[in-house]
Amino acid sequence: MLKSVNALKKSDDLFEKSSMSFGEHLDELRKSLIKASICLLVGMVVGVPSANFVVDYLQTPLRAALETFYEEKSMAEMAKSSGEAVSPELEKWIVDNKKQSEIVFLDVGRLKALNETEKLESDEPSQNESDLQPVNAPEKSDLDTKLKAEIERQLDRFKRFSNPDSTGLPNPSNLIAVRIFRGIQAQSEALSLQEPIFIWFKAALMVAAIIASPGIFYFIWEFVSSGLYPHERRYVYFFLPSSVGLFLIGAAFAFFVVFQLVIGFLLTFNSYMGVGMTPRLNDYMSFALMLPLGFGISFQLPLVMLIVERLGIASIKLYLEQWRIAVFIIFLISMILTPADAYSMVLMAVPLTFLYFLGILLCKYLPRSAMQRGRAVDPR
């Protein structure tokens, strides 16, 4: 019996088969980091060509929210000015064609004078009319001459209508309101020359990190596993897939649900304050990259609670007794990880509150044996 215990202790000795010094361990860490960096460089091979697509795709929620905002704003303005609801046909046309409406004013007096001048010019016989109608098919030079003449006529018409006449400004009594529809400008803008290339590089690096993450995690795990007991290495088979799954769920929830709700809320609030909205590319992309990252990290809460409970630092009874304080801390962390608005904070804090109670259920009903499945293989 004593011999088997000694054998077990001997097998659990971390340095039983190792004669490396502290400096040699640092050298192993350096090698692991170099291998992880090589994986990141390989990921850049995919990240660089796809950076433009990623930047464009990450702006999809912004464009959708801006289009919806301006469409609803236009229909509300039309209903208010006409005193009746917008017809379903017009509403469908606005949404399908992504249009917004606005009121412009035309000078009727100047428009009538322009039309009368053109009518008089059209009634005058052309001295070279026979020359403009050849019997044979016109040559290319004749077509170019006619095209240039038509362009000059249209430009002259525009100038006569747009330039102020001798009387100065138009008479307000001659102005009539005309509703026009134009396309919605739903895109962000850069305020400096170098801003787009920095955003492009960030997007390429993000794609490279995602592509290279299996290799990066493997080489980091290769180094860390040498400092773990055999039974501790088994936990990676439970925690690593669970952690990745929760991170992806949190990031997807932020991108597909939270983005449009938060952007829509901020646009509505800006409209309420009478503030115009021209999104800046750098600010939005930082928001688009950091918010999913914050959600992905915060969704690790059940696993953190499970680890703390399994290590004996906390208990299920403590979790249940201190749930009010835990909810307060959750809202505090949500305030730090989200932009400076209450809407996104609530959208993070509410799911985290449910995940807190999910963590309690995991601690209570998940058997310890389920966390130690699989063989403990030392990658060294």
For 49-93, the pLDDT digits (tens) are 888 888 888 888 888 888 888 888 888 888 888 888 888 888 888
User: Nearest CA to 42 among 209, 220, 219, 217?
Assistant: 209
Q: What is the pLDDT of residue 325?
A: 92
Residue ranges in the chain assigned as alpha helix (H): 2-11, 22-47, 51-58, 60-82, 88-97, 108-123, 140-162, 195-224, 230-233, 236-253, 259-273, 281-298, 301-310, 316-321, 323-337, 342-365
**pLDDT value at 340 more than 70:** no
**pLDDT value at 10 more than 50:** no
Q: How many CB atoms lie within 10 A of CB 152?
A: 10
Domain boundaries, given as residue ranges, for the chain: 107-123+147-177, 228-372
Block residue for tokens 């809202």: 331
For residue 71, what are its two tokens? 């469409």
Q: How many CB atoms lie within 10 A of CB 104?
A: 10
* Cα 371 off chain centre by: 35
For 105, phi then psi, to 5°, come to -120, 130
* Cα 122 off chain centre by: 56
* Cα 218 off chain centre by: 29
Q: How far is the C-alpha of 352 from the C-alpha of 300, rounded, in Å?
A: 9
DSSP string, 316-327: HHHHHHTHHHHH
**pLDDT value at 13 more than 80:** no
292's CB contacts (< 8 A; 6+ apart) are 250, 251, 252, 254, 255
Q: How many CB atoms lie within 10 A of CB 325?
A: 9
**pLDDT value at 154 more than 50:** yes
For residue 358, what are its two tokens? 């999910």
Q: What is the pLDDT of residue 380?
A: 46
Global pTM value: 0.61
Helix axes 259-273, 281-298, angle to 10 degrees: 130
For 276-291, the pLDDT digits (tens) are 677 888 888 888 877 8
For 225-260, the pLDDT digits (tens) are 666 666 666 776 777 778 878 888 888 888 888 887
